Structure 1
């Protein structure tokens, strides 16, 4: 799908773009980054693995056992069939590495068993060494750099064999279908020509211009508002560091709640919520309030009744109140859980609150939580920047 065919209500809006950062206004019900096509708010998915789904190791073993060895014409390299045949005779198939570089080193270490004919063909009797891991000290480096590299013919056989096993392995994992580019903010930026090597076929661009996007922070799929991406590793590193320094980056969210006792009953117009949070022990995507000594992490949110900048009037109505939320920490679902624990939860929330709204992938509701403002220093110039996105509810 091209950028012109993206549904209007799911299109991102570019707020700011330069050589280091991209700031967008993300609509509700759009993912921040690519994922899988399954609903991001399916609470029926439990932590326990379904019995009919293989683990990565189980699928890897089954893939090796299913290697077709009868048709010799399917292997262009004469060493590949020999390597695969001997891999299948390995006593402990789970010991065979599932990543390419460790797999290549495994093949070299066991070359006498896995590729005996290749050893016979080598002029030096198979004394070459494969590429080494990162050296730990100068003495080891001086010693190991004297060793020659793995022969290209053996490395080629290892690469092709790994590719064959991997092609058999991936379908057995029963993984969800990956999302298309238009289904995430980062993917839409790719369609628009930003980052993720979207211009890799443009040979007039230098290597530095073929940059990958780095998401600095994320918004829940159902949350709308300001979202920031870095366009190079240096900017991403500086921005992530700024995010950890809580007084450097300022974030303001707006949330619509139906009931807020601190304001309704106690007539308080602002306050602080301090409730430690941890991942749920029973539901995959949910978090919950849990004490610090039970694995909870400190979570702090400052709140106040939102007042319109033009009229100066607060936004309290018979249909609830609009809160201005300042997260001091950035835990998963922090604002949603804090609002649900203190009041009635955020309107449209499909996970938390008094009456969670069931998720409907075909007709999702709007979560009334909006990232209205983001303030930070530019990672290169140090200039103070503030970005805003208007709410649509």
Structure 2
């Protein structure tokens, strides 16, 4: 679920698992706001004759403030613009730093801005861009120094270049660690999300996952009557007898076989979930009543024909059937729970009629039995 950020953090939407992207977006907002503020302070100080800026750097500073203000307005509320705005900020900052290095020679500490630019590059643009920024910064100060009216001493240059290199390496290590941590957290959350929505025995969706997968289709069908849907409630017959005779491990193996067979018979957009011990539900988007009945009969015959054995491939064969109830979207059945309740009632009617049947309630044929389908006499 996405959540809109407060207006002072840009007002963009981020999902709950996008902490790293959210941090970088907030850092960009902070960096742009800070650039506008600092450029404004320098421009004001220049007007008050508190600092002595060169003519070139004076205009560079005065243009830098509105440039970053425009970037801030452009990215506000639009996270998809993060990358181009970050590169624009990077370019503008690098040009301003070069202007200060070449023309503001009375400021011995002007090279400190290269370090700030270096750190923001790693955070906003990643490790590769950060390494490139570090190399460009070292080359810039080394190449510009002989051109300065008051060049830095050889000792100062060695210190400056070495400090830029050390800072780059430290930020590189930090950026790699942050990325690896973010990837590990994202993978852990994906696994937890999968575990919370997947049935551990059969591998199909559990009750929670089934509900979450069906809800968008339910809402779409309610808002658009041209989007029909149906639900099948499937109960595996005689599973308790199998458990009592051969043990629960045999029953679990049979359930896995049934789930695999059901999934193989469904379309890519159909949704299969295990909603009880021996109960499955199938949600059929864009399916009318008779189409749902045909799908249900295909599933019933598939289960009936399964060559299931217990105790290994050479063990005794177990005959398994399924009773299936069918419900379709109609007035009064606008929720998944109502649809399941309706299909469950139809399934119980199939049980009462002898099992191994497909049945529906109002709006559908009361009993739908294809040639060859026979009620189970011992149900």
TM-score by length of 1: 0.25
Question: Greater helix share, 1 or 2?
Answer: 2
Using CA pairs below 8 Å that are at least 6 residues apart, which structure has the higher relative contact order? 1
Relative to total residues, which structure has the larger strand share, 1 or 2?
1
TM-score, normalised to structure 2, is 0.26
Which of 1 and 2 has greater Rg? 2
